[in-house]
Structure 1
Amino acid sequence: MKGMKILILLISSVVLVTSCEKSDDHYYDYQKTNITYDGTVYDYLIHQPGVYDSLVLMLERLPALKSKLNDPQNEVTFFAVNNRSFELAIANLNSTRMSAGLSPLYIEDFNLNVLDTLAYRYVFDQNIDIHGIRNYKDGQTFASSKYDYTMHTQYRVLTSSGIVGGGEQQIVFSDVNESIYKRYWQSTNTKSVDLQVTNGIFHTLSSQHDFGFGKLNKYFSTN
C-alpha cells in the first residue's frame, strides 16, 4: 500500500512538471516566433491587400498621420484596425442614421477633425509590447499620440488544451472614456501582437472591434 502511494506521488509529480514545461514552452516559443518586417507601419499596411484597405483610405485623408506611420525615424506603437472593423462601425452608424431619416456616411465623408481624433487613439509615441506590460497585473495606461488621450492595455493569456495560461497571448486594449471605473470602459482584444517594424511595434486588433470604440455614432448619428 505504501508502495502504491509513492507511485501515485511520482506520477503526480511528472504530470505537474510536464504541465509547467508546456506552459514555459509557450513563452519560449513566443520568443522564437516573434517576427519582424523590413518596412514601416505604413509599408506593412499597404502590402496586406484585402486586410487594411479601409485603414489606408482613412490615412489618405489624414496625411500627417500617414507620414508619421511611414517615417522610419519615428518610434511608434500602432494598433491596426482591419476592414471588418470599419465595416461594423459604419454599418452600426448608418443603421442609426437610417432610423433618423439621414443619408449614409462613409470614410470619405467623415469630418476630418473627428476622424483625426479617433485615429490617433490607436497610435503611441513609444514601444508598447507584451513583455513590457505582462508584469502589471492591473495593466497600464498610456497617452495616445498627438492628443494625449488615455488608453489602457492589459496582458492576458488564453487557455489552451486545458492548460491555464498556455494559449495565445493577447493585449486587452481599452478606451477608458476618461473614467477610472471599468464599467464605463470599452475594450477589444488583439488578434496578433508584437510585429517588429522598422519604426516600432505593430499589433492587430480583433475583427470584432468597432472602429472608434463606438464613437462614430456619438459624432455622426444626428448630422
Structure 2
Amino acid sequence: MKSIRERILNKCWGIVFLFALSAIASSCSKSHEGPYYNYENQNAVYNGSTYAFLQAQDGLFDSLLYVIDRVPNLKDTIENYNITLFAPNNQCFTNALKNLNELRSTQHKTPLYLRDLDLMELDTLLCRYVLAGKFVTDSLIEFSDGISVQSLRYDYAMHLRYHRQDANGYQNGGPQEIEFSDPKNSIFERYWVTTYTTSVNIYTNNGLVHLLSGGHEFGFGEFSGRMNK
C-alpha cells in the first residue's frame, strides 16, 4: 500500500497539474463548441497512469471514471495499457442524460442515471473514445483529410483530423486541435458526428490524453437510442 507521504504528494501533483491546465486555457480563444483552445499544451506530462490523471483533475472526470469502473476490465486497460484517450468531461455525460431523460419524459418513463445504464451499450460507446497506441498531433499534421483509426475492442472506425486555428490575424497561428469524428460507417461527412479537443498531447505513464469540449454529447448521438429501454 502507498504511504501517507506518497498519497499527499500525488494529491498535490494533481492539484498543481489542474491549475497549470486552467492557467493555460485562460489565455486561449474560443471556437467551435465554445471551448477554450490550448496554445501551449503540446508536451504536458503527468507522472502517473491515465486513470490516475483523470482522478487528479478535481472531479472534472468523475462521470467518466464512474462508467470506466462499471465496464468490466476497462479500468485495467486505461490504467496499464498504451492507449490514447479522448476524455469526455462531466458535462458531456450531463448533455447525454438530459436528452435521454427528456425523451423518456415524453414517453412517461422514469429517469435513468449513470448507475442504471446498460453495461453492454455503455461498453460499446465508451470504447469509441479509446484508441490503441499514441496519436499525437504531430502524427496527424501531414494528413490533410485526416486518418481513419480503429477504436478499442470492437475495431469500430473513428476519424481524426488535425487543425490549427487562426489567431490575431495570423493564419494557422493559433491553437492546435483534433477534430474527433464518428463516421457512422459512412464515407459521406454529412453523416458524421464530430467533436473537438480543448487540450491535446497530455502524456501519462502509459499513454496519451486529449480533452474533449464540454459541448460534446457522450455517445456521438447514439446515447438515447441505445439506453432508452
Compute the TM-score of the two structures, normalised by the length of structure 1.
0.83
- In structure 1, distance between residues paired with 2:42 and 2:62: 27
Taking the TM superposition and a 5 Å limit, the aligned residue runs for 1:138-153 are 138-153=145-160
Taking the TM superposition and a 5 Å limit, the aligned residue runs for 1:41-52 are 41-52=50-61
- Percent identity, aligned pairs only, is 39
Cα deviation, residue 220, structure 1:
2.3
The 1:128–1:33 alpha-carbon spacing in structure 2 relative to 1, beyond 3 Å, is closer
**Larger mean Cα displacement after TM superposition, 206-215 or 59-68:** 59-68
Instruction: Please state if 1:66 is matched with 2:75.
Output: yes
Instruction: Please state if 1:84 is matched with 2:91.
Output: yes
Deviation sequence 1:38-58 (CA, Å, 0-9, x none): 111101011112200101111
Structure 1 runs not aligned, ≥5 long: 1-29
Structure 2 residue aligned with 1:161, among 168, 186, 193? 168
Deviation sequence 1:96-136 (CA, Å, 0-9, x none): 11111111111110110000010100011111110000110
- In structure 2, distance between residues paired with 1:63 and 1:69: 12
1:200 is aligned with what amino acid? G
Cα deviation, residue 198, structure 1:
0.8
Taking the TM superposition and a 5 Å limit, the aligned residue runs for 1:1-223 are 34-71=43-80, 74-221=81-228, 223=229
- In structure 1, distance between residues paired with 2:137 and 2:42: 13
- In structure 1, distance between residues paired with 2:227 and 2:132: 28
The 1:127–1:158 alpha-carbon spacing in structure 2 relative to 1, beyond 3 Å, is same
- In structure 2, distance between residues paired with 1:113 and 1:48: 27
Cα deviation, residue 31, structure 1:
7.8
Query: Partner of 1:147: helix, strand, or coil?
Result: coil
Q: CA RMSD in A?
A: 1.5
Structure that is richer in helix per residue: 1
The 1:112–1:130 alpha-carbon spacing in structure 2 relative to 1, beyond 3 Å, is same
- In structure 2, distance between residues paired with 1:168 and 1:123: 23
Contact 2:182 2:220 (C-alpha < 8 Å) held by counterparts: yes
- In structure 2, distance between residues paired with 1:216 and 1:102: 16
* Alignment coverage as a number of residue pairs: 192
- In structure 2, distance between residues paired with 1:32 and 1:108: 34
The 1:184–1:215 alpha-carbon spacing in structure 2 relative to 1, beyond 3 Å, is same
Runs of 4+ in structure 1 off by over 4 angstroms are 30-33
Query: Partner of 2:203: helix, strand, or coil?
Result: strand
Query: Partner of 1:166: helix, strand, or coil?
Result: coil
- In structure 1, distance between residues paired with 2:227 and 2:103: 9
- In structure 2, distance between residues paired with 1:158 and 1:31: 13
Contact 2:96 2:217 (C-alpha < 8 Å) held by counterparts: yes
Deviation sequence 1:58-115 (CA, Å, 0-9, x none): 11201411111111xx211000010011101100111111111111111110110000
**Larger mean Cα displacement after TM superposition, 31-40 or 135-144:** 31-40
